[in-house]
Amino acid sequence: MRRQRKAKIIATLGPASSRPDVLEKIVQAGVDVFRLNFSHGEHAEHQARFETIREVEAKLGRPIGVLMDLQGPKIRVGTFADEKITLEAGAQFRFDMDKKPGDQTRVSLPHPEVFAALQPGASLLLDDGKLRMRVDKCDENSADCTVEIGGPLSNRKGVNLPDVMLPMSPLTEKDRIDLVYGLEMGVDFVALSFVQRPEDVAEARKLVNGRAAIVSKLEKPQAIEHLDEIVALSDIIMVARGDLGVECPPEDVPILQKRIIKACREAGKPVIVATQMLDSMVSNPAPTRAEASDVATAIYDGADAVMLSAESAVGKYPIETVSIMNRIMVRVERDELYFRLREASRPDPEHNAPDAISAAARQVAGTIGAKAVVTYTTSGSTAYRSARERPEVPILGLTPKIQTARRLALCWGVHPVFTRDATNFGEMVGIACDVAKREEFADNGDSLVITAGVPFGTPGATNILRIAWLSGRG
């Protein structure tokens, strides 16, 4: 199950991909982490999918990460008496707190926090940005607007507010219930939707309490204003281009994607690029050339992972979609331009022993032609530091904790291995050599560069570098 690429693939599970035989084929085709979308489905469905993942993991002998994606606060209009209206540009329209069905002139918007934050001149985008309105006047219970871009509007369509910092937590009551369930189930990552400010991440971190890694989804312009602080507080960042593309001008999204990836690279935090990467493959067996280019661009930019949503959840060709994404990534990572971009974008090591060791490991591996950099880690921090260096050779992430191995499934370049604990450094070197041979990364006569922290079990204490030869010399 060795991958021929270093960036990772996340796939969303759904009706098209939840059968054990399909799920196993998807893993073999290239999936490293599965996403459970808690915006849809009942807890029992997610539990069944989670158990199937763990069964396939045990069968294939490869750690698989599981990411739960919380729905977050969805702002929606109420219902209409005739279920649907059509608005013309220039028309006047009101949003209010009245629960009665709407008509051609008004509709309910049952979100008092929205009216509390609105100001005249603010924009409201409806139905994924298909309609646009400008607020003329507002109070705590209503907002009178002018339609700038018209069109049909039907029951419970979503509302986006690109100009407004909403005074609300990204965790709704539903999210909190889902979070408790997911953590008890044993998910490895928790994705927060509609993060606006650093305090949102801090709130979630208290609730998660170290039981899973925090993924902050950046899909609001307000989050970009606090980018560095949010990156610092998060374990992983997701460029969620769906809502980001609604709330920001389309021409800004590619620039924001590059800016976010750059910030994450400098901070040593994994970054995921998501949404509509191979969207046409929901119904077609091959992607468009533009979609292939989109996946390739994310890899050239330095993304740690790319994600499939509807393509793998409800699409007709989930296995083929994963396969073509894998092929694109493998091809890009073999390109000389990718190598040059990776070298040029490498951040300087921080002035501490773990970063110095990780930087040295990359350099030594390149100089002596080592087959892999091996990190022995309990928390995963040693492997993440090594991945920040983007070594040319693979990273073998050895850990005695299965939870850490599963989290490392999302880490660039890391082949995670759940292995027995070591009582001393010599034993650890022996384990590293055995695993490298068993996993077909090296053979007799080949060398490995091994990093670890002593004493064992101290997170972030990377302080030893060792060269080992599989022939027994060392």
- Joined together, the tokens standing for residue 13 give 């599970």
Contact 398, 419 (CB under 8 A): yes
Q: Per the residue annotation, which of 25, 54, 76, 259 is the catalytic one?
A: 76
- Joined together, the tokens standing for residue 399 give 């850990």
Q: Does residue 205 carry a catalytic annotation?
A: no
Q: Does residue 217 carry a catalytic annotation?
A: yes
Residue partners of 400: CB distance under 8 A and separation at least 6: 378, 418, 419, 420, 421, 422
- Joined together, the tokens standing for residue 327 give 């092929």
Contact 114, 140 (CB under 8 A): no
Q: Does residue 132 carry a catalytic annotation?
A: no
Q: Per the residue annotation, which of 8, 62, 217, 390 is the catalytic one?
A: 217
* Helices of type H across 302-439: 310-313, 318-333, 336-344, 353-368, 381-388, 402-407, 425-438
Q: Does residue 76 carry a catalytic annotation?
A: yes
CA distance 441 to 446: 9
CA distance 348 to 151: 51
Pair type for strands 236-240 and 271-274: parallel
Distances in Å between the Cα of 294 and the Cα atoms of 15, 246, 274, 307 are 26, 18, 11, 12
Q: Per the residue annotation, which of 5, 8, 35, 265 is the catalytic one?
A: 35
DSSP 158: B
Compute the radius of gyration of the chain from its Cα atoms. Answer: 24
- Joined together, the tokens standing for residue 154 give 């039907």
Q: Per the residue annotation, which of 12, 52, 275, 451 is the catalytic one?
A: 275
Backbone angles phi, psi at 39, to 5 degrees: -75, -20
Contact 28, 57 (CB under 8 A): no
Cis peptide before 162 (omega within 30 of 0): no
Helix 253-267 and helix 289-301, axial crossing angle in degrees, nearest 10: 30
Count Cβ atoms within 10 A of the Cβ of residue 412 and give its class: 0-12 exposed, 13-18 middle, 19 or more buried: buried
Residues paired with residue 9 on neighbouring β-strands, in sequence order: 306
Amino acid at 62: R
Tokens 């990411």 belong to which residue? 67
Which residues participate in catalysis according to the annotation?
35, 76, 217, 275
